[in-house]
Amino acid sequence: MPKPITPQKTDDEKVSEYMQLLEHPLKAEINALRAIIMAAHPALRERIKWNAPSYYAGVDLVTFNLRMTSKVHLVFHHAAIVNISSALLEGDYKDRRMMYFENMTEVETHRAELQRILVELVTAAAA
């Protein structure tokens, strides 16, 4: 008797499952950042990449790096990020920038700036 075909999980299902299983001291901050990112631009989509939530709009743009437990680390890995100016973007790499959040106060304080960066990045990446 053939095995029943199991439907492939959607990206949303994979992210939900990942987040349910995630044990991280800054999980509330991670969830708040996920919501902020998704609200920044209608073209943004979420999936799991490099074993963490990741965001794309036709091309990959930003991914969480959750190895650190004292901060939430975002990796902006589309080359257009180097042309976006912000005090929140760290590093002098040729094709990426980093962003860090230590607590919910920082997440809320920098909400508008993060969304501005994302809108600019989505627009630049689409050009």
* 15 assigned to some structural domain: yes
* 1 assigned to some structural domain: no
What is the model's pLDDT at position 106? 98
Instruction: Say yes or no to pLDDT of 101 above 90.
Output: yes
What is the model's pLDDT at position 79? 94
d(CA 27, CA 24): 5
Q: Are 81 and 97 in contact (CB under 8 A)?
A: yes
Distance of CA 23 to the CA centre of its chain: 17
Q: What is the mean pLDDT of residues 91-115?
A: 97
Q: Which residue type occupies 53?
A: P
Domain that holds residue 43: 11-126
What is the model's pLDDT at position 5? 76
What is the model's pLDDT at position 1? 65
Q: Which residues pair with 97 in a beta bridge?
A: 76
Which residues are within 8 A (CB) of 17 and not within 5 positions of it... i.e. 6 or more apart?
9
* 17 assigned to some structural domain: yes
Which CATH number is 43's domain given? 3.90.1150.200
Q: Which two tokens stand for residue 76?
A: 């902006």
* 32 assigned to some structural domain: yes
Instruction: Say yes or no to pLDDT of 6 above 90.
Output: no
Q: Which residue type occupies 78?
A: H
Percent of the chain with pLDDT over 90: 91
* 2 assigned to some structural domain: no
* 4 assigned to some structural domain: no
Number of domains in the chain: 1
